[in-house]
Amino acid sequence: MPHNTTLAINEIFGPTLQGEGPSVGSPAVFLRLAGCNLSCSWCDTPYSWDFSAESAYSAAQEVSKRPVADVASELLEPLLDTHLLVVTGGEPLLQQEAVLSLLVELDRIAPTADWRAEIETNGTIDPLPVLLGMTRIGFNVSPKQSHAGMDPAQRYNSTALSTWGKASSFVGGGEDVSKVAFKVVCKSAEGVSEAVNLMHEYGVPLSQLMVMPEGRTSEECHVSLLEIVPEAIALGVKVTPRLHLDIWGPERGH
């Protein structure tokens, strides 16, 4: 068992649906971790990390620190029902040793159960090799583009992106699926081109790229979709919706 056995959690919810990415539409349970190393201008979950004096959110209300064993016990029943755990944030890899502890614990208490996990990450942090190598685990990597409001030195880590790029070509388990998928938030046709150029730079097959519309509401996402879909079609890039916004809007807990 890894040493770090406490998680800083923002919320746990589900059963629900995975609203975006390669498993869109799949039943899932969500573990949202607190804290992020970026500050995207369009972030739709600021309550998981923005505890500044100007923020409407506070760490005292939004963050609970809990033992990994307790979290695993709470997740187990909805995980066995849905078969998919989505670990999101914030930025989950800020706590990747504790995330590893959680996944090891889930494997221990449900070793023969049919479940898997997807870890969402912004791609700026190198994953632990043991975490990257776990057979049940996949990653959705979301590098942030210029419209996120940060300079490239903050939102891009070339060393980490090289690691993610190499891992994106991994095919395992006899299935034609990759260990790593790239899911890039775009607002314009230029954003789709920027995402494609990034994939070329780091050797990521375009089959592993999805572009996703920016927006905090279904209406905002629809506007972005109209902008990005023609370019995605022209470049042969998949588009992922944000299904949860279409169903529930920006309401938390879905």
In this predicted structure, the answer to whether residue 4 has a pLDDT above a threshold of 80 is: no
Confidence band of 170 (pLDDT split at 50, 70, 90) = low
In this predicted structure, the answer to whether residue 72 has a pLDDT above a threshold of 50 is: yes
Q: Are strands 64-67 and 6-17 parallel, antiparallel or unpaired?
A: antiparallel
Q: What is the mean pLDDT of the chain?
A: 93
Q: At what angle do helices 189-201 and 218-235 cross, to 10 degrees?
A: 60
In this predicted structure, the answer to whether residue 176 has a pLDDT above a threshold of 60 is: no
The pLDDT score that the predictor gives to residue 179 is: 86
The pLDDT score that the predictor gives to residue 110 is: 93
Q: pTM for the complete prediction?
A: 0.94
Residue (of 219, 223, 214) closest to 186 by Cα position: 214
The pLDDT score that the predictor gives to residue 2 is: 52
**Two tokens, residue 221:** 């996402």
The pLDDT score that the predictor gives to residue 168 is: 82
Q: Which of 17-26, 162-171, 199-208 has the lowest mean pLDDT?
A: 162-171
Cβ-proximal residues to 155 (8 Å cutoff; 6+ apart), any chain: 38, 122, 124, 143, 144, 145, 148
115-144 pLDDT tens trace: 999 999 999 999 999 999 898 999 999 999
Overall fold of domain 6-248: TIM Barrel (3.20.20)
Separation between Cα atoms, residue 69 and residue 183, nearest integer Å: 30
The pLDDT score that the predictor gives to residue 173 is: 41
93-114 pLDDT tens trace: 999 999 999 999 999 999 999 9
